[in-house]
Amino acid sequence: MQKLKLFIDNQWSEASDRGTFTSLDPSKNEPIAELAAATPKDVDRAVQAAKKAFDSGVWSDIDPDKRAEVMLKAADIMRRRLKELARWEALDVGKPIHETETVDIVYAIRAMEYFANQAREIKGEVIPLPGNAAFDWVSYEPYGVAAGITPWNFPLHLATRCICPAIAVGNTMVAKPSSLAPITPVLLGEIFQEAGLPAGVVNIVTGSGSTTGEALISHPDVRMISFTGSAEVGKRLLEASAKSPIIKKVILELGGKGPFIAEADCDVTAAVNSLIVGFCLMQGEVCCASTRLFLHEKIYATFMEKLVKRVNSLKLGDILDPKTQMGSLISRDQLKKVDDYVKQALAEGARLAAGGEPYTAPPCDKGNYYRPTVLENVTNKMKCAQEEIFGPVLVVIKYRDLDEAIAMANDSPYGLGATFWSENPKKLFYAAKKIDAGIVWLNTNVMSKIEAPYGGNKNSGLGREDGTVGLKEYLKVKNNVLFIAKDYDNFYNFKD
């Protein structure tokens, strides 16, 4: 059992009431770590440490090159510890080790490097004003104390996605990872200590959303919040921001119900392979997952034959086996939720093409495994087509006309990621323009990179993470006006 404490002001400490909670390996439902459960008092201590660090200028006022040096050193330490971090991530989340080694930790390292270097490139602008009476320029400044509340599906990657841009531009941070998979974000504390990050710049508190999270989002000294999670909690966070004495800047990356449109002229084999990644990566527990397949009637039979064959060939098994392709859902509750959605869909008239039940063959019999599932005979109004299931469940809807498919794709409360496949460049351009989503993948799928903005429309969120667009989300825009006319009084037509 790993025992992890709170990381506050570059010190490790127990919770003020010495409370703890346990993190499980969901592939076996066995405890792997004991963590401190932060109280509101502990959260206040973390926020005050961050505020003190920001106000002192020890981080916010130094040259961006100096901040970059510390972050790049942290990236080197992460690279040195990649295997260790990947193993903990796999065990804490229940995902295959090959994913954590090649995606999760690699993306986290890239975030540290990318934002460290990008922060050197922040530039203002000069705005010409009529009359030549004033010189106007725009500059960017950090907010102060930022809070990062991150989910369990990509713990380290999504923690670094908000921590790195925040501190790269001079903010300080209090981060709260999900209580379901908190280990690797807490280990960041060790990495930042070794890299030489000044005390208070990054603080990491663990605990429940109802106690630790609520105390953080309602704290009056937190100036901005980055949250990744459900739409319901995102709305609650907006309410808390509005009720705060000072309205907080909020970035929300919420749920999704990603459409995947396959036109009759698409490369069927390539589209099928990309769709497998789209709804089976991380066992479907991905907000931008492709979970609604709109399939043209002309290729329906061929596409479905290849899809079902590929789905049934996926290997579920020991998450530490490099050959395993799918792991466990995060909890028994999530396993039941996914199964309930499938059963309800079947009761409403959907037809099972693949999967549709928990997977219990050894060594998976103690975990929360679910077979990748494909549901046919679905309408876009069914609950399984409108609500986020967060599991490896794909619903298939046949269509005849492209505009019909796009209309159904947009007929959703979500608008995060969308995918479109065609060999016709005019169709690709048309679909990219008409689909209401923050990200549209054309002849590829779930291809998100640190360098490009990520986020959604409608109930999928506000603002963007990643890229230079995401970096500037962590900066206030300031307009500066210098009066340069020779005669101030005459400019305003003041006469004695």
Q: Which CATH superfamily, name and number, covers 258-442?
A: Aldehyde Dehydrogenase; Chain A, domain 2 (3.40.309.10)
**Which of these, 479, 485, 367, 489, lies nearest to 125 by C-alpha position?**
479
How many CB atoms are closer than 10 A to CB 418?
31
**Which of these, 368, 337, 330, 333, lies nearest to 180 by C-alpha position?**
330
* Contact status, residue 91 vs residue 32, Cβ threshold 8 Å: yes
Does the annotation count 69 as an active-site position?
no
Q: How do beta strands 20-25 and 373-376 pair?
A: unpaired
How far, in Å, CA of 458 to CA of 414, rounded?
Answer: 6
- On the question of a common fold for 2-254+460-480 and 258-442, the answer reads no
In the chain, what percentage of residues exceed pLDDT 90? 92
How many CB atoms are closer than 10 A to CB 380?
18
Q: Which residue in 89, 101, 113, 253 is the catalytic one?
A: 253
Q: Which residue has the tokens 């206030």?
A: 476
How far, in Å, CA of 438 to CA of 417, rounded?
Answer: 6
pLDDT, the chain, mean: 96
The CATH class for the domain spanning 2-254+460-480 reads: alpha beta
**pTM attached to this predicted model:** 0.94
Q: What is the pLDDT of residues 258-313, one digit of tens each?
A: 999 999 999 999 999 999 999 999 999 999 999 999 999 999 999 999 999 999 99
Structure token digits, residue 181: 């998979």
How far, in Å, CA of 186 to CA of 7, rounded?
Answer: 7
* Contact status, residue 440 vs residue 418, Cβ threshold 8 Å: yes
pLDDT band at 240 (very low <50, low <70, confident <90, very high): confident
* Contact status, residue 38 vs residue 64, Cβ threshold 8 Å: no
Give the pLDDT confidence score for residue 492 in this predicted structure.
66
Give the pLDDT confidence score for residue 487 in this predicted structure.
72
Q: What is the pLDDT of residues 104-161, one digit of tens each?
A: 999 999 999 999 999 898 989 999 998 888 999 999 999 999 999 999 999 999 999 9
Give the pLDDT confidence score for residue 446 in this predicted structure.
87
For the residues 431-446, what does the mean pLDDT come to?
97
Q: In 230-331, which ranges are continuous DSSP H helix?
A: 231-243, 268-280, 300-313
Cis link prior to 151 (omega < 30° from 0)? no
Name residues whose C-beta falls within 8 Å of residue 100's C-beta, 6 or more positions apart in sequence: 85, 86, 87, 89, 90, 93
Give the pLDDT confidence score for residue 486 in this predicted structure.
78
Q: How many residues does the chain have?
A: 496
pLDDT of residue 48 exceeding 80:
yes
pLDDT band at 493 (very low <50, low <70, confident <90, very high): low
pLDDT of residue 357 exceeding 60:
yes
Torsion sign across C-alpha atoms 290, 294, 296, 301: positive
Give the pLDDT confidence score for residue 247 in this predicted structure.
93
Helix (H) or strand (E) holding 118: helix 105-118
Give the pLDDT confidence score for residue 490 in this predicted structure.
67
Does the annotation count 253 as an active-site position?
yes
pLDDT of residue 491 exceeding 70:
no
Q: Which residue in 162, 164, 266, 287 is the catalytic one?
A: 287
* Contact status, residue 421 vs residue 414, Cβ threshold 8 Å: no
For the chain, the domains span 2-254+460-480, 258-442
Give the pLDDT confidence score for residue 216 in this predicted structure.
95
**Which of these, 405, 463, 465, lies nearest to 435 by C-alpha position?**
405
How many CB atoms are closer than 10 A to CB 302?
12
Q: Which residue has the tokens 């630790």?
A: 212
How far, in Å, CA of 465 to CA of 158, rounded?
Answer: 10
pLDDT of residue 496 exceeding 70:
no
pLDDT of residue 485 exceeding 90:
no
